[in-house]
A and B are shown apart, each in its own frame.
Chain A
Amino acid sequence: MADTLTAADIRSGRLSDEVLKDNFSDLHPRLDPHEAAVEADRCYFCYDAPCMTACSTSIDIPQFIRQISTGNPNGAAKTIFAENILGGMCARVCPTETLCEEACVREKAEGKPVRIGELQRFATDHFMETKEGTSFTRAAETGKRIAVVGAGPAGLSCAHRLASHGHQIDLFEAKGKMGGLNEYGIAAYKSTNDFAQKEVEWLLSIGGITVHSGMALGRDLSLERLQADYDAVFLSIGLGGVNALRAEGENLENVEDAVDYIEDLRQASDLSKLPVGRDVVVIGGGMTAVDIAVQSKLLGAENVTIAYRRGPDQMGASKFEQDLAQTNGVAIKFWSKPFAIKGEGGQVSGIELERTELNENGRLLATGDIETIPADMVFKAVGQTLVTKDIAAEGEGLALEGDRIKVDEQRKTSLTNVWAGGDCVAGGEDLTVAAVEDGKVAAEAINAVLTA
């Protein structure tokens, strides 16, 4: 095989429109009312429920499931939104198998947890489709103004919570659309029918939030100016940079950042126009790696391989995600790291992967054992980084921890009246639900300071 590398085979329209539509339909179609009632009845209404503790936003899960079970889905949704205004998106994208559903006592009892995520989807969809506006009402105007920078889950959550307390919010977003990774990053089959935009619109209906799109920190905005102009600032700018592979051939054509391709995919109006390789290799082991691998496969790539330098237990993608990849025909090569990307005429033609192993001290070592597999496209999904130069000039005192913004329990940064949350802060889980919690906690902290 290794000797017969061919020129890059990258084409769009590998699959019929019908197949594409089916491939990118809802991963978990919404439960119907009877299914929801039966599933809700499985919940034991645990005391001090472990699922609640496992939820970053501490949604009162037994309570909302009971509300579904008693025929009050909108009440259930109110319970969810009270803790997590993006409960609709979290119901779709949360890795529940490692959060609430892993903690569910039914998981312990029978290996089959209550389908909490799907029940949450049932309730939140019901509310958003049958009620006007969010479940919050705005308090009287306080006259306080807060800048929220970045309209991803953290920013949206923070802006909404602050608006509910009667403050005026200017919400700045670098991209054209609000939503952050909900709009640009989540796998398409997890958020169908333009849900991310619908949710943003719904969330903004609370009022008091003025949206400014196309406004980037470091380009159109400066933190210093924002601090001067506003009573408080919340930074939720995500991770704008992408880690490098540090392998030969990284600059060849068709070696792409997975996040960029996913963004194109999410924004594509016609998936049949999106080119994909015949042989696709993904480097990385997180959710993004699985997302790009599965979506490449669903677009019609024939052979999709994830190369991950460690084993299944260390993989950032959950067992469920690994299974999802494998049932979609994606091969996962563990203990395998890129050695060099091979090209022909400037285009990718294959990739040399080197086997890795752990030494007795637990250090990852390259073994020198190299194999070459064909590749028309190579996706880098080896993590994202915070672009610090956009935030504050060096020496301005914004403390970092590792390579992300340092915050305290209240999501307060080292700067006066600046809070931060979401992927850009240190210590988080890089999950939508964690970002929502950051925004909520910061909003309450800001509100406490401003109304003190």
Chain B
Amino acid sequence: MVDLRSDFVGIKSPNPFWLASAPPTDKAYNVVRAFEAGWGGVVWKTLGEDPAVVNVNGPRYGAIHGKDRELIGLNNIELITDRPLEVNLQEIKQVKRDWKDRALVVSLMVPCEEANWESILKRVEDTEADGVELNFGCPHGMSERGMGAAVGQVPEYIEMVTRWAKKHTRMPVIVKLTPNITDVRKPAQAAKRGGADAVSLINTINSIVGVDLDLMAPNPTVGGKGTHGGYCGPAVKPIALNMVAEIARDPETYGLPISGIGGVTTWRDAAEFLALGAGNVQVCTAAMTYGFKIVQDMIEGLKDWMEDKGYDSIDQVVGRAVPNVTDWQYLNLNYVAKAKINQDLCIECGRCHIACEDTSHQAITNMVDGIRKFEVIDEECVGCNLCVNVCPVQDCITMEQMPVGTIDPRTDKPISADYANWTTHPNNPSSANFEPAE
């Protein structure tokens, strides 16, 4: 029997699916609807100090679409909540009272003064919310005022504010990180040093989602001008997965709980985040695209998959793929694979051929004995996987590992059973086996 119950830094929820701090969690009305739909928890949209911020009254979102208007990436220039602090606090209190089994975390963003943080933390504590999330990620608007990503981009500030937060509240403190940095491990390490109970990532990515070529201005355009916004949705998932994995496997932050965010749209996305070390996931764009009902498939899908795989609980999944994330230099250079095209499945579109011919290794035919036919030339194939990725037919092209002892026709060398990586390679100047060029 699969148990989806989640315990994230002591915050319990019936499932690991939380709504991220964002427009869907700005008011009790939305949050109650989310809980009714089955969401395990929410991070309430970021509270700030009064007077509340204001938002633009024109478009706040822009998007990248597929041809059938599939929403691939979303960009927003909305700020933190524009409702009075007290209204939000009262609603949070009421919702938590009504929904005791759900996680209710409050996102916060105030100026970088200890007194400001102390003050708001006390007021949040009075709501009996389960925890706080420090918004060090918002990349637009607030960062111009020295908050959000402006803090998240300076590890020393992260550490300092996290320390204040831990000092002034008994609630778990989650630090939300910005991806708009060069090495995500640094802010994560800073959060840990400051005493954070967890980090959550990624916040949105600085972006201009498109240019209106008639107005000659970025999208979304407000009165003829545009500004960079925060990018999210399915398009950012790979970036988020990498950042989560980097923190999960970094010796300095190893074991630090992570709430995974960034393009989670399906149960499979969630499973991938969990596998790379996230203790739970937070969702926004998918809910904003389809409504709250999507959580039901996430719950059932994750449950069914875990059952198929024999996992009983979330913690059996969390981090399971982390040991297999490594640096390039440790990849086994004696592993050799060749592409193989299943001729029964091939529909002869020729994309594998032209991709390989024009842009790679000239290792796929387009004609065999005068007949249109696409076959891999093992003598040329480096096993790059490009053909697999451009083939429109699932599983038509596969990468087949060459068995140990056989001869790689490209190099004329036998496939070795030994593990050998760059660190020991003769071309590597830092390797003990280094053989300088003639």
- Return 5 A-B CB contacts under 8 Å, by A number: A41-B68, A45-B351, A47-B350, A105-B347, A109-B393
Please measure, in the bound complex, the distance between the C-alpha atom of A378 and the C-alpha atom of B350, giving whole angstroms.
50
Please measure, in the bound complex, the distance between the C-alpha atom of A40 and the C-alpha atom of B349, giving whole angstroms.
15
By a CB distance below 8 angstroms, the chain B residues around A46 are 348-351
Tell me the minimal C-beta distance from A111 to chain B in angstroms. Answer: 11
By a CB distance below 8 angstroms, the chain B residues around A105 are 347-349
Determine whether the beta carbon of B68 is less than 8 Å from that of A47: no
A108 on the B face (CB < 8 A): yes
Determine whether the beta carbon of A47 is less than 8 Å from that of B393: no
Determine whether the beta carbon of B68 is less than 8 Å from that of A38: yes
* A47-B67 in contact given A105-B348, A109-B393 (Cβ < 8 Å): no
Determine whether the beta carbon of B67 is less than 8 Å from that of A108: no
A69 on the B face (CB < 8 A): yes
Report the count of interface residues on B (CB-CB < 8 A): 15
Determine whether the beta carbon of B349 is less than 8 Å from that of A44: yes
Please measure, in the bound complex, the distance between the C-alpha atom of A151 and the C-alpha atom of B275, giving whole angstroms.
70
Contact with A along B336-361 (1 / 0, CB 8 A): 00000000000111110110000000
Instruction: Please give me the residue from chain A that is nearest to B350 by CB atom.
Output: A47
Given contacts A46-B351, A47-B349, A69-B67, 20 further A-B contacts (CB under 8 A): A37-B68, A40-B67, A41-B66, A44-B349, A44-B351, A46-B348, A46-B350, A47-B351, A47-B353, A48-B350, A49-B350, A50-B348, A50-B372, A105-B347, A105-B348, A106-B347, A108-B347, A109-B347, A109-B392, A109-B393
Contact with A along B64-85 (1 / 0, CB 8 A): 0011110000000000000000
Determine whether the beta carbon of B366 is less than 8 Å from that of A47: yes
Enumerate A26-48 residues with CB–CB distance to B below 8 Å.
Answer: 34, 37-38, 40-41, 44-48
By a CB distance below 8 angstroms, the chain A residues around B69 are 34
Tell me the minimal C-beta distance from B360 to chain A in angstroms. Answer: 14
Please measure, in the bound complex, the distance between the C-alpha atom of A109 and the C-alpha atom of B69, giving whole angstroms.
24
Residues of A at under 8 Å CB distance from B?
A: 34, 37-38, 40-41, 44-50, 69, 105-106, 108-109
Interface of B is mostly: loop
Interface of A is mostly: helix
By a CB distance below 8 angstroms, the chain A residues around B66 are 41
Tell me the minimal C-beta distance from B13 to chain A in angstroms. Answer: 39
By a CB distance below 8 angstroms, the chain A residues around B350 are 46-49
Partner of B372, one of A44, A45, A48, A109: A48
By a CB distance below 8 angstroms, the chain A residues around B347 are 105-106, 108-109
Instruction: Please give me the residue from chain A that is nearest to B69 by CB atom.
Output: A34
Determine whether the beta carbon of B67 is less than 8 Å from that of A37: yes
Which 8 pairs, one residue from A and one from B, show the smallest C-beta to C-beta distance? A47-B350, A41-B67, A47-B354, A109-B347, A105-B347, A46-B349, A44-B349, A105-B349
Please measure, in the bound complex, the distance between the C-alpha atom of A37 and the C-alpha atom of B347, giving whole angstroms.
23
Number of A-B contacts (CB under 8 A): 39
Tell me the minimal C-beta distance from A430 to chain B in angstroms. Answer: 28
Residues of B at under 8 Å CB distance from A?
A: 66-69, 347-351, 353-354, 366, 372, 392-393
By a CB distance below 8 angstroms, the chain A residues around B393 are 109
Please measure, in the bound complex, the distance between the C-alpha atom of A40 and the C-alpha atom of B372, giving whole angstroms.
24
Instruction: Please give me the residue from chain B that is nearest to A38 by CB atom.
Output: B68
Please measure, in the bound complex, the distance between the C-alpha atom of A49 and the C-alpha atom of B366, giving whole angstroms.
11
By a CB distance below 8 angstroms, the chain B residues around A106 are 347
By a CB distance below 8 angstroms, the chain A residues around B351 are 44-47
Tell me the minimal C-beta distance from B399 to chain A in angstroms. Answer: 21
Please measure, in the bound complex, the distance between the C-alpha atom of A41 and the C-alpha atom of B66, giving whole angstroms.
9
Please measure, in the bound complex, the distance between the C-alpha atom of A137 and the C-alpha atom of B392, giving whole angstroms.
40
Please measure, in the bound complex, the distance between the C-alpha atom of A382 and the C-alpha atom of B357, giving whole angstroms.
51
Tell me the minimal C-beta distance from B257 to chain A in angstroms. Answer: 41
Instruction: Please give me the residue from chain B that is nearest to A36 by CB atom.
Output: B67
Please measure, in the bound complex, the distance between the C-alpha atom of A34 and the C-alpha atom of B366, giving whole angstroms.
34
Instruction: Please give me the residue from chain B that is nearest to A35 by CB atom.
Output: B68
Tell me the minimal C-beta distance from B156 to chain A in angstroms. Answer: 47
By a CB distance below 8 angstroms, the chain B residues around A45 are 351
By a CB distance below 8 angstroms, the chain A residues around B392 are 44, 109
By a CB distance below 8 angstroms, the chain A residues around B366 are 47-48
Partner of A38, one of B67, B349, B354: B67
Please measure, in the bound complex, the distance between the C-alpha atom of A69 and the C-alpha atom of B65, giving whole angstroms.
13
Please measure, in the bound complex, the distance between the C-alpha atom of A145 and the C-alpha atom of B293, giving whole angstroms.
72
Instruction: Please give me the residue from chain A that is nearest to B358 by CB atom.
Output: A47
Instruction: Please give me the residue from chain A that is nearest to B65 by CB atom.
Output: A37
Please measure, in the bound complex, the distance between the C-alpha atom of A329 and the C-alpha atom of B391, giving whole angstroms.
42
Among the interface residues A37, A47, A49, which one has the most CB atoms of the partner chain B within 10 A? Answer: A47
By a CB distance below 8 angstroms, the chain B residues around A37 are 67-68
Tell me the minimal C-beta distance from B370 to chain A in angstroms. Answer: 13
Tell me the minimal C-beta distance from B391 to chain A in angstroms. Answer: 10
Tell me the minimal C-beta distance from A192 to chain B in angstroms. Answer: 28
Instruction: Please give me the residue from chain B that is nearest to A45 by CB atom.
Output: B351
Please measure, in the bound complex, the distance between the C-alpha atom of A69 and the C-alpha atom of B393, giving whole angstroms.
21
Please measure, in the bound complex, the distance between the C-alpha atom of A121 and the C-alpha atom of B66, giving whole angstroms.
23
By a CB distance below 8 angstroms, the chain A residues around B372 are 48, 50
Tell me the minimal C-beta distance from B364 to chain A in angstroms. Answer: 10
Instruction: Please give me the residue from chain A that is nearest to B390 by CB atom.
Output: A44
Please measure, in the bound complex, the distance between the C-alpha atom of A34 and the C-alpha atom of B354, giving whole angstroms.
29
By a CB distance below 8 angstroms, the chain B residues around A41 are 66-68
Instruction: Please give me the residue from chain A that is nearest to B396 by CB atom.
Output: A109
Tell me the minimal C-beta distance from A309 to chain B in angstroms. Answer: 36
Tell me the minimal C-beta distance from A60 to chain B in angstroms. Answer: 15
Tell me the minimal C-beta distance from B342 to chain A in angstroms. Answer: 13
Instruction: Please give me the residue from chain B that is nearest to A53 by CB atom.
Output: B372
Please measure, in the bound complex, the distance between the C-alpha atom of A60 and the C-alpha atom of B366, giving whole angstroms.
19
Please measure, in the bound complex, the distance between the C-alpha atom of A46 and the C-alpha atom of B366, giving whole angstroms.
11
Please measure, in the bound complex, the distance between the C-alpha atom of A109 and the C-alpha atom of B68, giving whole angstroms.
21
Tell me the minimal C-beta distance from A102 to chain B in angstroms. Answer: 14
Tell me the minimal C-beta distance from B285 to chain A in angstroms. Answer: 22
Please measure, in the bound complex, the distance between the C-alpha atom of A358 and the C-alpha atom of B83, giving whole angstroms.
86
By a CB distance below 8 angstroms, the chain B residues around A108 are 347-348
Please measure, in the bound complex, the distance between the C-alpha atom of A50 and the C-alpha atom of B366, giving whole angstroms.
12
Please measure, in the bound complex, the distance between the C-alpha atom of A47 and the C-alpha atom of B347, giving whole angstroms.
12
Please measure, in the bound complex, the distance between the C-alpha atom of A404 and the C-alpha atom of B393, giving whole angstroms.
46
By a CB distance below 8 angstroms, the chain A residues around B354 are 47
Please measure, in the bound complex, the distance between the C-alpha atom of A106 and the C-alpha atom of B351, giving whole angstroms.
13
Tell me the minimal C-beta distance from A37 to chain B in angstroms. Answer: 5
Please measure, in the bound complex, the distance between the C-alpha atom of A68 and the C-alpha atom of B392, giving whole angstroms.
20
Among the interface residues B69, B350, B351, B393, which one has the most CB atoms of the partner chain A within 10 A? Answer: B350
Among the interface residues A40, A45, A105, A106, which one has the most CB atoms of the partner chain B within 10 A? Answer: A105
Instruction: Please give me the residue from chain A that is nearest to B355 by CB atom.
Output: A47
Please measure, in the bound complex, the distance between the C-alpha atom of A47 and the C-alpha atom of B354, giving whole angstroms.
6
By a CB distance below 8 angstroms, the chain A residues around B68 are 37-38, 41
Please measure, in the bound complex, the distance between the C-alpha atom of A45 and the C-alpha atom of B390, giving whole angstroms.
11
Instruction: Please give me the residue from chain A that is nearest to B374 by CB atom.
Output: A47
